[in-house]
Structure 1
Amino acid sequence: MRKAINLTIAIAALGAALIMPSASASAATPSRTTVAHTAYVDCDEYWATTVVKVRTGPSTGYTAIGQLGKHNTVDWVGENSSGSWTKVRLLQKSTYGLPKSTVGWVSSAYLAYISPCYTSIDV
């Protein structure tokens, strides 16, 4: 036999009561809030040796989404199998307006390793 649950717990010390709804009561739909966070990560810092296009994939056949200026800094994210293209995350807003944390592909020929680093990214 199923019994409907209707439970009341009085908390005298606090002067309050906690009331559990009966099983037949409808549950409220929870609301969701999106919150921006900043994470701090280790990175390998590179810079562009000249003005270079940032692309959506590892070849000139992919769309250019913007440009890095000479000495704009990026974090190494990955590379294609031959190592000729590097997937990067911008460590600063680029000279040409790409926002910090933009991820894209750059020809490895136009990047120079600077040092290990510690940076913040928006997640």
Structure 2
Amino acid sequence: MQTKFIGRAGVAVATLTMGAAVTLAAAPSALASTPAQAPATLAAKNTCPTWSVTGKAVNFRSGPSTNYRSIGLLYRWSDSGTKVSSSGSWIKIKLDHKSKTGITKGTTGWVHKKYLEQCVYMQLD
């Protein structure tokens, strides 16, 4: 089997010899993608209601500030909840399951947004 590649004036030509000859030619400009040809992508609002704790041990508070008492601690990646409301930088969540420290499923409380991460829906085609 013999393969030979020849490039000339922006056109690539490949010839294969294996009992029959095949010639392929393509202009590189036809294969190149320019930003103007890229489809427009619109950012969709994240509507996933679940928020996971990302802090090591985070206070689960009775109100939206450090002035409110702590109900207990929530731990990174093992505790999560559904957003009920928000106030400034604080998110009120309802626990999806019993927390690692024993806080009952369905309990609502406040966590600062910097210690939470909202889930993201993924579309798999």
Number of residues of Structure 1 aligned to a counterpart in Structure 2: 72
Greater relative contact order (Cα < 8 A, sep 6+):
1
**Other-structure match for 1:107:** 112
User: Structure 1 residue runs of 4+, over 6 Å off?
Assistant: none
Distance in 2 of aligned mates of 1:67 and 1:100? 14
Distance in 2 of aligned mates of 1:97 and 1:115? 27
CA contact under 8 A between 1:44 and 1:115: conserved in structure 2? no
Distance in 1 of aligned mates of 2:71 and 2:80? 17
Distance in 2 of aligned mates of 1:58 and 1:95? 22
The TM-score with structure 1 as length reference comes to: 0.55
Residue 93 of structure 2, aligned match among 85, 88, 108: 88
Deviation readout 1:47-93 (Å, 9 max, x if unpaired):
0002211111000000101111111111111000x2x1001100011
Distance in 1 of aligned mates of 2:82 and 2:60? 13
Structure 1 segment 61-76 matched on structure 2, within 5 A: 61-71=67-77, 72-76=79-83
SS of the aligned residue for 1:88 comes to strand
Structure ranking higher in helix proportion:
2
Alpha-carbon RMSD:
1.3
In the TM superposition, residue 94 of structure 1 has moved relative to its aligned partner by 0.8
CA contact under 8 A between 1:67 and 1:96: conserved in structure 2? yes
Can you give the 5+ residue segments of structure 1 that lack an aligned partner in the other structure? 1-42, 117-123
Distance in 2 of aligned mates of 1:85 and 1:97? 22
- Asked if 1:77 is matched to 2:46, the reply is no
Largest Rg, 1 or 2:
2
SS of the aligned residue for 1:62 comes to coil
Q: Identity of counterpart residues, as a percentage? A: 38
